[in-house]
Amino acid sequence: MKRITTLLLTFTLAAVAMAEDLRIGLIGLDTSHVIAFTKIINDPKATGPLANAKVVAAFKGGSRDIPSSADRIDKYTETLTNDYGLKLYPTIAELCKNVDAVMLESVDGRPKVRQAIPVIDAGLPLFIDKPMAGSLADMIFIFEYAKKKGVPIFSSSSLRYGKATQAARAGSLGKITYAETFSPCSLEVHHPDLFWYGVHGCESLFTVMGTGCQSVVRRTSADGKIEVEGKWKGNRTGIFREGKGYGGKAKGTQGEGEIGKYDGYAPLVVEAVKMFQTGKVPVPARETIEMFAFMAAADESKRRDGKPVTIKEMIEQARQ
């Protein structure tokens, strides 16, 4: 069965490679990202991987109990259909019959597990925007289901692709021994605290620190802001702080420098399209799972009055 699934994926990617344009579908038209990403991909002057890709269709989605979703979906839908000519489909299953790849953009993480399943069942490469899910258990299920079906997927914030952050990941500062990042961290009652917006700063942190986080402690700073400290294997430390804007710093065996700045959506979009075309996943599932476990552990540490919580415990609990 695994061999059959692999062959089907190979044929799907081959068909995509031969097609004049990679046809991309959107799920969830309740975030400004759908406009920004479509503008980048459908730019007539686009080069490289984007030159042979086009966003052509969408499924509206939306969440009535989140104002930032319900209040924006009609506006974004109108822009995409009128200005970019996207065709709307009434179901995700119908959408999948008419595209080669999917960007799951729903601003609400909770429905993403049920929105991802029909895409994975259709064998289509899938990019899932932040937050990847509404819980650690859901996002682990998505990754494991995609692996079982042999479908390439990844999830990331655009902050992963800041120039200085990527340089540090590539070794410009040597092996990173300490890093701290900051980003806004507005909360949404239906999600773990950091999932909604703190994920941006956490993405930058894990981009430079990589996997190996063992335990997490959450504190509140003197000015009432969230502060989360992680202890990595090898006596390394990574800290996320709620703050204004995006930034941070890292120290390594060959120096120190700034990280965490926002450098636009385009680098993330290019990575998603490259995965659609090649099937090569740019961010390992293990790293994204560990990052979400870090954020979930921050909530658990808060519930335990600031006591340390292990990443292993959070992942095992989610899998149960």
Give the CATH number for residue 11: 3.40.50.720
Q: Is 197 helix (H, G, I), strand (E, B) or coil?
A: coil
Q: Say if residue 136 is in the same domain as residue 48.
A: yes
Q: Is 216 within 8 Å of 229 (Cβ atoms)?
A: yes
- The answer to whether residue 217 scores a pLDDT higher than 80 is yes
- Flag whether 284 is in a domain: no
Phi first, then psi: give them for residue 130, nearest 5 degrees.
-70, 150
Q: Is the pLDDT of residue 13 over 80?
A: no
Percent of the chain clearing pLDDT 70 (strictly above): 94
Note the pTM of the prediction, 2 decimals.
0.93
Strand blocks (E) in 108-162: 126-128, 153-155
- Which of residues 94, 121, 155 is at a domain's end? 155
> In the listed set 155, 173, 206, which residue is the last one of a domain according to the structure?
155
Same domain, 122 and 252: no
Q: pLDDT category, 2, cuts 50, 70, 90?
A: low
pLDDT at 107: 96
pLDDT for 3: 56
The alpha carbons of the chain give a radius of gyration, in whole angstroms, of 19
**Average pLDDT value for the chain:** 94
- Please tell me the total count of domains within the chain: 2
Residue 110, token pair as written in the block: 């909770």
Residues 49 and 26 in one domain: yes
312 and 183 in a common domain = yes
Which domain CATH number covers 196? 3.30.360.10
Give the DSSP per-residue string, 42-65. T-TT--GGGGGEEEEEEE----TT
20 and 73 housed in the same domain: yes
Q: Does one domain contain both 111 and 186?
A: no
pLDDT bin (cut points 50, 70, 90) of residue 4 is low
Residue 18: band (very low, low, confident or very high) from pLDDT cuts 50, 70, 90: very low
- Whether 116 and 229 map to the same domain: the answer is no
269 occurs within a structural domain: no
How much is the average pLDDT of 89-104?
98
Structural domain includes residue 275: no
**Do the domain assignments include residue 287?**
no
140 and 221 in a single domain? The answer is no
Q: Is the pLDDT of residue 9 over 70?
A: no
Q: Are residues 79 and 141 in the same domain?
A: yes
Residue 201 located in a structural domain: yes
Residue 95 DSSP symbol: H
Q: Say if residue 11's pLDDT is above 70.
A: no
Q: Residue 145 — φ and ψ, nearest 5°?
A: -70, -40
Same domain, 315 and 166: yes
Mean pLDDT value across residues 146-173: 98
What is the predicted pLDDT for the residue at 17? 47
Mean pLDDT of the 224-248 span: 98
**At residue 16, does pLDDT exceed 50?**
no
Query: Quick one: 66 and 186 in the same domain?
Result: no
Structural domain including 173 reads: 159-264+292-319
Q: Is the model's pLDDT at 297 over the cut of 80?
A: yes
pLDDT at 20: 73
Same domain for 139 and 173, yes or no, is: no
Residue 7 has pLDDT above 70, yes or no: no
CB-based contact 211:222 (threshold 8 Å): no
